[in-house]
Amino acid sequence: MAGLAKGLAVIEAFGETSSQLTVADAARLTDVTRAAARRCLLTLTDLGYLTHDGKYFRPTPRMLRLGGAYLDTASLPVLAQPHLVAARDALTESVSLAVWEDGWSVFVARAEAERIVSTGVRVGARLPGHCSATGRALLAGLTDDEVAAFLARGGRERRTVKTLIAPEDLTAAVEAARADGYAESDEELELGMRAMAVPVKDARGRTVAAMSVSASSARVSVAEMRRDFLPVLIEHATALGRML
C-alpha cells in the first residue's frame, strides 16, 4: 500500500509544474527517493499510463481514465452541466463549476464559449484559492476558523500587480463575498481577465461548489458583470442547489 501511495503521488505530480518529468523531477516533487520514483515511473509506463523517451516520462491518454472515473459517476458535475451550458449560452462566456480542495479551487465541470482565445481553464485544473473568484466564493462558505487556518499557511503567490495577498485584505474580500453572495477576481490571476463566482449551496445551506464566469477585461467591465452576469449565475446556481 505504501507503493500505491507513492505511485499516486507521482501521478499527481504531472500537471502541477510540467507535462513531463524526469526521475529527479518526480523524486523532488513527491519527496521520495530517486529509486522509488524510478520504480513508480517504470511501473506506470509498463501499465500504459506513461511513455518514456529515455529521459522524460509523459502521460498517455490512458491517464484520462483516472479522472474520467470520477467525472462519469459524480452527481455534481453531471447535474451541473445543463446549467453551465444554459448560463454559457445566455452570457456567451465560459462558465465553470469548482470545488474546494486543500486551498485550491478545482474545476469539475465547464461549458466553454467558442472564442479564438481561450482562458486555458479546463476540467481538472486548479486555481489558487486566495486570488480566484471561485476560491473566494468557496472560502466564504467555510467557517471563520477554517478561513483563518488557510490564511495562516502563507506562501500565497502574487500572480499580478493586482493580486491581494495580505491576510487583512483577503479576510475583507471573503467577508464581502459572504455579505454580497458573490465573489470577484479583477485581473488578480491574469492581467486582462476578470471573473465572478457565486456559491452553490445544498439543501442544508452548505456551500458545496462555486459557479463562475470569466471574461476579458477589454470586453466586459466589472459593472457589466454585476449587472448582466450575476443574475444569470445566481439563477443557475440556485437551481443546481435545489437538485442536490
Checking DSSP bridges between strand 183-186 and strand 207-216, what pairing results, if any? unpaired
Query: Which domain range does residue 43 map to?
Result: 2-62
What's the pLDDT at 107? Answer: 93
Q: Kindly report the CATH number assigned to the domain that includes residue 17.
A: 1.10.10.10
pTM: 0.72
- Cβ-proximal residues to 63 (8 Å cutoff; 6+ apart), any chain: 11, 14, 49, 50
Q: For 123-168, how does the pLDDT look when each residue is reduced to its tens digit (9 = 90+)? A: 888 899 999 999 999 999 999 999 999 999 888 889 999 999 999 9
- Which of residues 15 and 6 earns the better pLDDT score? 6
CA within 13 Å, CB half, 75: 6
C-alpha cell at 63: 491517464
Exposure b/e, 155-187, CB count within 10 A at least 16 = b: ebeebeeebbbebeebeebbeebbeeebbbbbb
Average the pLDDT over 224-231 and give the result. Answer: 96
Residues 27 and 127 reside in one and the same domain? no
* C-alpha 144, offset from chain centre: 22
- Asked whether residue 91 is domain-assigned, the answer is yes
What's the pLDDT at 203? Answer: 80
Q: For 53-103, how does the pLDDT look when each residue is reduced to its tens digit (9 = 90+)? A: 999 999 888 887 777 666 555 688 889 999 999 999 999 999 999 999 989
How much is the mean pLDDT over the chain? Answer: 89
Residues 47 and 120 reside in one and the same domain? no
What's the pLDDT at 17? Answer: 58
**Percent of the chain at pLDDT above 70?**
93
- For 61, counting Cβ atoms within 10 Å of its Cβ (0-12 exposed, 13-18 middle, 19+ buried), the class is exposed
Does 171 have pLDDT greater than 60? yes
Does 25 have pLDDT greater than 70? yes
- Asked whether residue 82 is domain-assigned, the answer is yes
Residue where a domain stops, chosen among 62, 93, 109: 62
Query: What's the angle, vertex CA 182, arms to CA 179 and CA 184, rounded to 5?
Result: 115
Q: How far apart are CA 178 and CA 199, in angstroms?
A: 9
Q: Residue 6: which pLDDT band, with cuts at 50, 70 and 90?
A: confident
C-alpha cell at 178: 459572504
CA within 13 Å, CB half, 135: 25
Angle between helices 230-243 and 75-91 (to 10 degrees): 160
What's the pLDDT at 243? Answer: 85
